[in-house]
């Protein structure tokens, strides 16, 4: 969930960058924030304005190369479809079923295959096309999965902002307040957004099949359900030229929305569980045993940071292995063995 913390913030580019971090209910007077570290440097959009923090910048540049961006996934999808159309255009004679236009049918077949809908209204009938279909369904599914995990989330987030803005048009306090409300319920709003988009897809698909493909209303709805779940019995499908043009866009969009819907549902559930656990961890009575266990440096006192670390570990957010590796690093840097790091330690550690 921390993975997407920054993206919404980026959608409102005109907003001051730290408006979300200023929570009015703070209360703790003597605690300051770790200001120069971003929440998650890996997940900032590539085309973001350069910030003044060098550490954030460096890690952003590092991950520009590894993380498949929205554009890369889009390009991959385009290349896949292009190769698919060329291959199945050439082998169209070894595919049997209802035909319309040769190029259109090739594209329709590739999309029905890659989304694993598989109506069966166009079926490979030679060994070559059968094995080609096998290769295309596996690679296509991988691309769809990549698309779901990367690009679709980004698109839904953009839609979500619009959706939320429309919903809270009259809300006082401006965008900062809207953003804060969204931030606390991010997954819930993503879920609402995707549910709304899916309802649109179901209605538009049903109307199209009813009006253009001349199916009955029940058959239209049945074909829509069979498609978005990738069930694809194939007794009802898109058989006209216009129908297949519509299907090309509609199938890819609706199946991805459906997968995204389930993904957010799972995330929503996980978040609820995590919130309940956090509540319990916060409420739990602290015992002397806890104090002893939380005392990381063995000085018989539990400082603020030690307490937070102990609680985060109890919450299951971090593991002992992670703490250990950073403790080792701390130990290495703390040259004078004072138990605290100072500028003096840094000078000593980094010159030697």
Find the binding residues for a second copy in span 172-231 (CB under 8 A): 218-219, 221-222, 225-226, 229-231
Nearer residue to a second copy within complex by CB, 120 or 242: 120
In eight-state DSSP terms, residue 19 is: T
Asked if 209 contacts 224 with a C-beta cutoff of 8 angstroms, the reply is yes
Does the footprint of a second copy cover residue 268 (CB under 8 A)? Answer: no
Asked if 91 contacts 128 with a C-beta cutoff of 8 angstroms, the reply is yes
Nearer residue to a second copy within complex by CB, 170 or 288: 288
What part of residues 135-154 is at the interface with a second copy (CB under 8 A)? 137-138, 141-142, 145, 149
Which of 80, 88, 108, 119 touches a second copy (CB under 8 A)? 119
Asked if 147 contacts 256 with a C-beta cutoff of 8 angstroms, the reply is yes
Does the footprint of a second copy cover residue 298 (CB under 8 A)? Answer: yes
Does the footprint of a second copy cover residue 301 (CB under 8 A)? Answer: yes
Residue 61 exposed, middle or buried by CB count within 10 Å (0-12, 13-18, 19+) = exposed
* Candidate ranges 160-168, 187-195, 241-249, 338-346; the one touching a second copy (CB under 8 A): 338-346
Nearer residue to a second copy within complex by CB, 66 or 166: 66
Which of 232, 252, 253, 256 touches a second copy (CB under 8 A)? 232
Nearer residue to a second copy within complex by CB, 113 or 193: 113
Does the footprint of a second copy cover residue 46 (CB under 8 A)? Answer: no
Does the footprint of a second copy cover residue 15 (CB under 8 A)? Answer: no
Half-sphere exposure of 237 (CA within 13 A, CB side): 24
3-state DSSP call for residue 298? coil
Task: Supply the angle between the helices 153-167 and 186-211 in degrees, to the nearest 10.
Answer: 100
Task: Supply the angle between the helices 186-211 and 174-184 in degrees, to the nearest 10.
Answer: 90
């Amino acid at each position: 969930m921390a993975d997407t913390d920054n993206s919404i913030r980026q959608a409102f580019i005109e907003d001051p960058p730290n408006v979300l971090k200023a929570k009015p209910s703070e209360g703790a007077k003597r605690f300051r924030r770790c200001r120069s570290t971003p929440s998650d440097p890996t997940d900032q959009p590539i085309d973001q304005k350069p910030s003044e923090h060098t550490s954030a910048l460096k890690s952003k540049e590092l991950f520009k190369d590894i993380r498949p961006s929205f554009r890369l996934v889009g390009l991959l999808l385009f290349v896949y479809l292009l190769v698919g159309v060329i291959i199945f255009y050439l082998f169209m004679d070894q595919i049997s079923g209802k035909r319309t236009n040769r190029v259109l049918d090739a594209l329709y077949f590739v999309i029905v295959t890659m989304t694993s809908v598989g109506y069966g209204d166009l079926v490979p009938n030679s060994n070559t096309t059968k094995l080609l279909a096998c290769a295309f369904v596996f690679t296509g599914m991988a691309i769809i999965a990549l698309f779901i995990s990367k690009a679709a989330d980004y698109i839904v987030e953009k839609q979500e902002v619009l959706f939320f803005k429309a919903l809270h048009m009259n809300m006082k306090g401006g965008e900062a307040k809207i953003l804060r409300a969204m931030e606390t319920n991010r997954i819930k709003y993503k879920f609402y957004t995707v549910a709304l988009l899916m309802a649109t897809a179901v209605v538009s698909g049903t109307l199209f099949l009813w009006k253009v493909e001349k199916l009955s209303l029940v058959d239209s709805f049945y074909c829509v359900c069979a498609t978005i779940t990738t069930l694809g019995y194939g007794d009802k499908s898109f058989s006209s030229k216009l129908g297949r043009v519509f299907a090309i866009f509609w199938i890819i969009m609706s199946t991805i929305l459906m997968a995204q819907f389930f993904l957010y549902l799972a995330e929503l559930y996980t978040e609820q569980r995590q919130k309940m656990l956090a509540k319990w961890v916060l409420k739990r009575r602290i015992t002397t045993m806890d104090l002893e266990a939380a005392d990381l440096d063995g000085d018989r006192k539990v400082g603020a940071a030690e307490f937070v670390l102990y609680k985060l570990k109890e919450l299951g957010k971090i593991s002992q292995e992670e703490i250990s590796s950073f403790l080792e690093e701390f130990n290495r840097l703390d040259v004078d063995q004072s138990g605290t790091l100072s500028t003096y330690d840094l000078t000593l550690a980094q010159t030697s």
